[in-house]
């Protein structure tokens, strides 16, 4: 299985399926709604326009590399102002 995806079980993901720490870590004005890409999953949607350069954080959780997790479905990728992944 590709670590960037989840196996489709035929069921639709709901907010009840999302770990509480993920919901607490969502930036202001960002919500989870049905994905436009995969109708069985939730996607991250802005509830209003986000201005260029807007900074989010602090993020809740431990810093991990992709190789350290089985699925990165609920991971955020953070970049510096130079677009370097941190």
Determine phi and psi for 46, rounding to 5 degrees.
-85, 135
Q: What is the mean pLDDT of residues 35-62?
A: 84
What is the pTM (predicted TM-score) of this model?
A: 0.59
pLDDT higher than 80, residue 70 = yes
pLDDT of residue 20: 87
Per-residue confidence band for 4, with pLDDT thresholds at 50, 70 and 90: very low
**Of the candidates 1, 36, 67, 83, which has an alpha carbon nearest to the alpha carbon of residue 75?**
67
**Of the candidates 45, 10, 50, 48, which has an alpha carbon nearest to the alpha carbon of residue 31?**
45
Number of neighbours of residue 30 by Cβ within 10 angstroms: 13
Mean pLDDT of the chain: 78
Q: What is the mean pLDDT of residues 6-26?
A: 79
- H or E element: which one contains 31? strand 30-34
């Amino acid at each position: 299985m590709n670590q960037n995806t989840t196996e489709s079980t035929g069921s639709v993901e709901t907010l009840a399926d999302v770990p509480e720490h993920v919901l607490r870590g969502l930036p202001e004005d960002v919500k989870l709604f049905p994905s436009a890409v995969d109708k069985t999953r939730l996607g991250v949607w802005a509830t209003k326009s986000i201005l260029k350069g807007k900074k989010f954080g602090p993020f809740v959780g431990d810093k991990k590399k992709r190789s350290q997790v089985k699925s990165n479905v609920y991971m955020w990728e953070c970049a510096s102002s130079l677009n370097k992944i941190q």
